[in-house]
Structure 1
Amino acid sequence: MDLIPKPDQVVSAAGNVAHTLLYGGLADLRPMPRTLIDDGELREVYHYRPAKDVEETGDPVLLVTPLAAPALCFDLRRDCSLVEHLVTQGRPTYLVEYGQVSFKNRALGVEHWVDEVLPEAIRTVHEHSGGRGVHLVGWSLGGIFALLVAADRQDLPIASLTVIGSPVDVTKVPLVAPVRPLLNLTQGTGAITRAYRVLGGVPTPLVNWAFTAASAQKVVTKPLAVLTHLDDTDYLAQMEAVTRFMSNMTAYPGRTFGQLYHRFVKGNALAKGRMPLGDRTVDLADITVPVLVFAGNTDGIAPLPAVRAVVPLLTGSREVRFEIVPGGHLGMLTGRAARGTTWTVIDEWVAQWSGQAPVKAARKAPAKKAAPAKKTAAAKKATAPKKTAAAKKAPARKAPARKAASAGTIGSNPTRRYGSAGSRSLGR
């Protein structure tokens, strides 16, 4: 909206204000229709119903929700919903979420999600879709969970893995870096540790406060942004949907938060690619499926260097692709620009790795085993999947050669349909 508004801007602004006052808002917040197909302790697996006059075809996509954040992240509002985008294309679309966390769940750790929730959801989707390979799409902590499961359970029918805004090296997160020395002084006996043990976790109001604090600048400038965009219906609708998302945060289970706090924030466990989990150590180098990694160019929660740190750790993956897209932590997933950036790349990636025979999934999880000895270089070479002709036939592999660009350069890839992000494809 101009400093001196034009007549048409005044009319649009007046219409938006009137519609908000009369109907309570501008955004279409209707959720996409879905059906519960499986559930368990802090596990709900949904199948989104096919769009009218659209036939479901192809491999299924399973959207992996992070802890504390609602599944609204994938279905923010109509016309700006990754779920709606996938469903209207005819892509079989599923989602796993966790419901409300309570005090009784305080003893559950990360193992619950890596050993039970996500593997069971993958098997359910595999069976419900007719035995097809499952493409995992995880945002934030959901991406971390997906990485750990793919590394730990090669028997699961995972066709590909997409990780969106998942920080692996937390020393490169500006919000965390200044306080890490203080956290290390406590050696596990500080106020934070005592608090989550007493409370049984991190309560919802504190989660809301933390997410708001991470976006403090946007919160402060929100009134001015509204005034300067009064004539932009789509902009105002997006702000309304994001506000609803932030007001629907959920709690963290106590033991899970303790593990995240000590292993990720204080210990930076995944920066070297290995993390102790239960009675074994999970190594990201054991991931063999193709991995697509997204970083947002203005993401303050999971900045570019923190996300990109996972790329050199995925040495066993068939192919690793790194993409820089416009937006902050939520915006890169479901912002207005994501419709022509992140979603387009996901479409290409899933299409590239669809139709391949998945590993047959066993209904019962194998017995837990002790942490295996680290594979030798010769063993890894013998067991690593070879590049086949099928991989070369994928559309993305046929792109004409182009000059290498710095991974941190915005707008460095002219072949993309967007100009505000850089991208890099890393073949293994």
Structure 2
Amino acid sequence: MDLIPKPDQVASAAGNLAHQVFYGGLADLRPMPRTLIDEGTLREVYHYRPAAKVQEQGEPVLLVTPLAAPATCYDLRRGCSLVEHVVGTGRPTYLVEYGQVSFKDRNLGMEHWIEEVVPAAIRETSAHAGGRPVHVVGWSLGGIFSMLALAADADLPVASLTVVGSPVDVSLVPLVAPFRPLLNWAGGRGPITKGYQALGGAPKPLVKWAFQLSSFQKLVTKPVAKLTHYDDADFLAQMEAVDRFTAGMIAYPGRTFGQLYHRFVKGNALVDGTFDLADADGTSRTVSFADISVPVLVFAGATDGIAPVASVKAVVPLLTGSPEVRFEIVPGGHLGMLTGRAARDTTWSVLDEWVSQWSAPTSDDGPAPSGDGEPAIGTGRRRHGSGASRSLAR
């Protein structure tokens, strides 16, 4: 809006204000309809129902959420929803999320997601989609979990992997630099360690605060930005949707938070492309990004404060076993690069091209059984009605 608003800008601003006051907001926050197809300990796998008059065909896409983030990261609002976009292309679309983390989950470590949750979600997605290989898309920590899961199990039915804003070299994250002198305080038994152990993890308010801190400048300038854009309904709607996303942050389990803190933040454990996994029987093994044998697409956000470009790009030379690695810098911060207004013409467009490039040719007949008896999408798989989609409104 101009410093001296024009009459049409004043009229638009007044209309937007009235809509917020009388209708509660401008954003269309309706979640995309979905059905729960599989569940386990902190694992819920959903299939998004096809758009009207759109027949699902081709290989499925599985969206992997990071810990602490609600599924709205992929389904922010109508018009800025990656879920809505992928469903609209006709591809079978799935998502794995983790439900509400509580104190009773405090003993779960990263191995739970790397060796159980993500692999199970990939297999269930493939089975539900008629045995087709899966295009896995992971944002932030979801991308790191996905890479480690594929490094640990080469037999997973995966066609390609896309990681979005996943920092591998944490030493290149300026946000962490001011806190480095505190990380080894008291021999690793400082107030942070004692705090998360006492709380059983990182509670929701702390997670929300940390995410907001990562975009501190935007948080401070938010009132001014809102005031100067009151004539822009789409801008205001995006702010409403991001506020809803931030309010929906989920807690971190204690042991997982401890591993992330000590091994990722303090130890920069992924910088050489390897990671030690502790198995249930007490033994450990080392997995390597070099063992990932599928094509990998890596996105970095140009203005991402949580995962700066250099920290994300550090993974590219480590993926030596991949037949192709593509690196793209796209507009936006940590969330904006995934589901911001500019993502519609940048990130999503590149993702569409990538998935098509690494998909097998699809019959014009869609997902009906083929001559060799390949089942249709959803055939013979356990399904739960909409009433069972417990997290639909989160």
TM-score higher than 0.5: yes
2:239 is equivalent to residue 239 of structure 1: yes
Residue matched to 2:349: 344
Residue matched to 1:275: 275
Per the TM alignment, residue 192 of structure 1 is displaced from its structure 2 partner at its CA by: 1.2
Specify whether residues 30 and 175 from structure 1 end up closer, same or farther in structure 2 by C-alpha distance, changes over 3 A only.
same
2:334 is equivalent to residue 334 of structure 1: no
Are the aligned partners of 2:12 and 2:231 in contact in 1 as well (CA < 8 Å)? Answer: yes
Residue matched to 1:6: 6
2:296 is equivalent to residue 291 of structure 1: yes
Residue matched to 1:307: 312
TM-score, length of structure 2 as denominator length = 0.89
Q: Deviations over 1:137-184 (max 9, x none)?
A: 000000000010111110100110000000000000001022223212
- Give the whole-Å Cα distance in 2 for the aligned partners of 1:230 and 1:101: 37
Residue matched to 2:60: 60
Are the aligned partners of 2:184 and 2:190 in contact in 1 as well (CA < 8 Å)? Answer: no
- Give the whole-Å Cα distance in 2 for the aligned partners of 1:270 and 1:333: 23
Q: After the TM superposition, which of the residue ranges 14-23 and 191-200 deviates more from structure 2?
A: 191-200
Residue matched to 2:190: 190
Unaligned 5+ runs, structure 1: 358-428
AA matched with 2:230: L
Residue matched to 1:399: none
Are the aligned partners of 2:338 and 2:347 in contact in 1 as well (CA < 8 Å)? Answer: yes
Are the aligned partners of 2:274 and 2:287 in contact in 1 as well (CA < 8 Å)? Answer: yes
Larger relative contact order (CA 8 Å, sep ≥ 6): 2
1:387-426 equivalence runs, <5 A: none
Q: Deviations over 1:68-89 (max 9, x none)?
A: 0111000000011000001011
- Give the whole-Å Cα distance in 1 for the aligned partners of 2:30 and 2:22: 18
- Give the whole-Å Cα distance in 2 for the aligned partners of 1:75 and 1:299: 20
- Give the whole-Å Cα distance in 2 for the aligned partners of 1:210 and 1:115: 27
Per the TM alignment, residue 196 of structure 1 is displaced from its structure 2 partner at its CA by: 1.3
Per the TM alignment, residue 8 of structure 1 is displaced from its structure 2 partner at its CA by: 1.2
Per the TM alignment, residue 185 of structure 1 is displaced from its structure 2 partner at its CA by: 3.6
Displacement over 2 Å in runs of 4+: 184-188
AA matched with 1:210: A
Residue matched to 1:78: 78
Per the TM alignment, residue 262 of structure 1 is displaced from its structure 2 partner at its CA by: 0.7
Q: Deviations over 1:202-231 (max 9, x none)?
A: 100110111111111111111110111011
- Give the whole-Å Cα distance in 2 for the aligned partners of 1:207 and 1:224: 25
- Give the whole-Å Cα distance in 1 for the aligned partners of 2:276 and 2:120: 21
TM-score, length of structure 1 as denominator length = 0.82
Residue matched to 2:370: none
Unaligned 5+ runs, structure 2: 279-283, 363-394
1:148-167 equivalence runs, <5 A: 148-167=148-167
Q: Deviations over 1:338-364 (max 9, x none)?
A: 00000000000000001189xxxxxxx
Are the aligned partners of 1:170 and 1:177 in contact in 2 as well (CA < 8 Å)? Answer: no
Per the TM alignment, residue 193 of structure 1 is displaced from its structure 2 partner at its CA by: 1.2
Residue matched to 1:47: 47
- Give the whole-Å Cα distance in 2 for the aligned partners of 1:253 and 1:186: 23
Q: After the TM superposition, which of the residue ranges 184-193 and 224-233 deviates more from structure 2?
A: 184-193
- Give the whole-Å Cα distance in 2 for the aligned partners of 1:88 and 1:272: 39
- Give the whole-Å Cα distance in 1 for the aligned partners of 2:292 and 2:247: 35
Are the aligned partners of 1:62 and 1:125 in contact in 2 as well (CA < 8 Å)? Answer: yes
AA matched with 2:317: P
AA matched with 1:76: L
Residue matched to 2:359: 354
Are the aligned partners of 1:126 and 1:157 in contact in 2 as well (CA < 8 Å)? Answer: yes
Per the TM alignment, residue 282 of structure 1 is displaced from its structure 2 partner at its CA by: 1.1
2:245 is equivalent to residue 255 of structure 1: no
Residue matched to 1:212: 212
Instruction: Describe the SS at the equivalent of 1:123.
Output: helix
